[in-house]
A and B are shown apart, each in its own frame.
Chain A
């Protein structure tokens, strides 16, 4: 049974029991020095590193199976198609979708959201309608809706958050009106680490007949995802943030909705028959997958999922909760450092600012110590404004990070104090 993150007690932290040394051996990139120091990779919210198994699977695909999918009678095309469609079933099981045709392959979270905006959105949203997002959304869950609203004369409504970075449920509920045509929310905030109560947010929206899109980019590497339990209508995530290849991702959608939606792009693979008079669109999921896809991306993502399931999400969540608690305690105790985002339910992210040093300077000094973090607005400029900071420094965790790395991070932060006082 997976516990809510805040329910985990120190005794539950499996930081010591979890064999992180073994995990680290699976990730070749981690074993290098940068600026003469061992690499401490804490920029996992930007992108994650790849286990050897994923690197090998992609290499093997190109070395032995490469062909185009869905269009050849020859053996290689069959093998490529099997790998590609097999990956869809792996993804289906990973997020517990009811059917594999509900798994649409896309380039990533960004494209998944744009797809919904351009198909479902354009069809269902009209003048005077409203779309509800949150104050903690990533630009990729803001701009596509803004573009749609501009086009349709609709209005974007933003559910506010408290100073801890938690969504204000009452305010959210108040924004849901008969004008609301769609809710789009992040499962986990990339800049704060807040885990939103998605199931509850979906219930509240559904009670008013409003469908919900969940941006799962930051949830997929940390949490067990069950789209049927969440009961969301759409769920988006990126392969590269779950230890798979870049340029690939998934849009999950409920079949009944997907079937009613117009296609996204026109081209090969998305059609059943084409004449110059009329084209008949293909069935799900192909209706949304025009053109030759990123086949190796699907192969790599499936391998990454197998890898994660092999480690086990209960183990991963337990370990990461402990590591995050340790990191939070360690960093909060440093002088002149303030953590931005202190929600009760958090995953993977510690954003912070320092009294005397701008985030960008923090990033440079940490880099010299071998510590890779992200600094800046994290594609969440409205959120930075909400907290009154131009930028933050963000350390983001993955299952291969260690307590020792957190100690290195803390020592590097003290170096910043040495330089800037």
Chain B
């Protein structure tokens, strides 16, 4: 039987209560919205991308503990990473929450989401902010496009 404590690990509860980088990024040059109509989770991810690197990122929105904590940990984990690194981390993170990861040691703090794979209905919550991030990265416009 899957244990709730595997899903709602302390770090997740903490990030849910006190989300990090939870604000609008004033000097962002990319942003994108994510919406999960199933549960009403809404997230907006802001990025400052320069020289192929995510120099800074933040998010705003409302949602369940999993989606909020996931967005929060994501912003902490990706600061300073190159766009290629971000893509690779996202792929491994997705494998992790879908239960397809062989090992997750190199994912750092993101491993707290390993319990999500026991709760298939929550995978979308865990990946919502990441999908928004990807949409923001694929936006080729350099200027801030959304207000």
**A interface residues, Cβ below 8 angstroms from B:** 35-36, 356-361, 364-365, 368, 375-377, 384, 390-391, 415, 419-420
The 5 A-B residue pairs with the shortest CB-CB distance, nearest first, are: A390-B40, A360-B64, A358-B64, A360-B39, A391-B40
Contacts of A375 in B (CB 8 A): 39
Q: Give the residue among A35, A358, A376 with the most B Cβ atoms within 10 A.
A: A358
Name the residue of chain A whose CB is nearest to the CB of B8: A419
- B residues near A (Cβ < 8 Å) are 1-2, 4, 7-8, 13, 16-17, 37-42, 62-66, 68, 119, 121-122, 125
**Inter-chain contact A359/B39, CB cutoff 8 Å:** yes
Residues of A within 8 A of B122 (CB): 360, 364
A390 proximity list for chain B (CB < 8 A) = 39-42, 62-63
Contacts of A376 in B (CB 8 A): 38-40
Which of A35, A357, A360, A419 interacts with B41 by CB under 8 Å?
Answer: A360
Quick one: which of B4, B40, B64 contacts A368, CB cutoff 8 A?
A: B4
Contact B40 A420, beta carbon cutoff 8 Å: no
Assess the B13–A365 pair: CB atoms within 8 A: no
B119 and chain A: residue at smallest CB distance: A364
Q: Which residue of A lies closest to B121 (CB)?
A: A364
Residues of B within 8 A of A420 (CB): 8, 13, 16, 65
Interface pair A384/B40, CB less than 8 Å apart: yes
Closest residue to A419 on the B side, CB-wise?
B8
Distance in angstroms between the alpha carbons of A361 and B119 in the assembled complex? 11
Partner pick for A358 among B4, B13, B63, CB 8 A cutoff: B63
Shortest beta-carbon distance from B44 to chain A in Å: 14
* B interface majority secondary structure: mixed
A36 to B2 Cα, complex, angstroms: 10
Residues of chain A with a CB closer than 8 A to B64's CB: 358-361
Least distance between A356 CB and chain B CB atoms (Å):
8
Chain A residue nearest to B125 (CB atoms) is A360
Chain A proximity of B5: nearest CB distance (Å) = 8
**Sample (25) of A-B pairs whose CB atoms are under 8 Å apart:** A36-B1, A356-B17, A358-B63, A358-B65, A359-B40, A360-B40, A360-B41, A360-B63, A360-B122, A361-B64, A361-B65, A364-B7, A364-B122, A368-B2, A376-B38, A376-B39, A377-B40, A390-B39, A390-B63, A391-B39, A419-B4, A420-B8, A420-B13, A420-B16, A420-B65
- Assess the A357–B65 pair: CB atoms within 8 A: yes
B-side contacts of A361, CB under 8 Å: 8, 64-66
A368 CA / B7 CA spacing, docked (Å): 11
Closest residue on chain A to residue B1 by CB atoms: A36
Q: How far is the CB of B39 from chain A (nearest CB, A)?
A: 4
Who on chain B is nearest to A368 by CB? B4
Chain B neighbourhood of A36, CB < 8 A: 1
By a CB distance below 8 angstroms, the chain B residues around A358 are: 39, 63-65, 68
Q: Kindly name the residue among A36, A377, A390, A420 whose own CB sees the greatest number of chain B CB atoms within 10 A.
A: A390
Q: Point out which of A365, A415, A419 has the most chain B C-beta atoms below 10 A from its C-beta.
A: A419
Q: Which residues of B contact A384 (CB under 8 A)?
A: 40
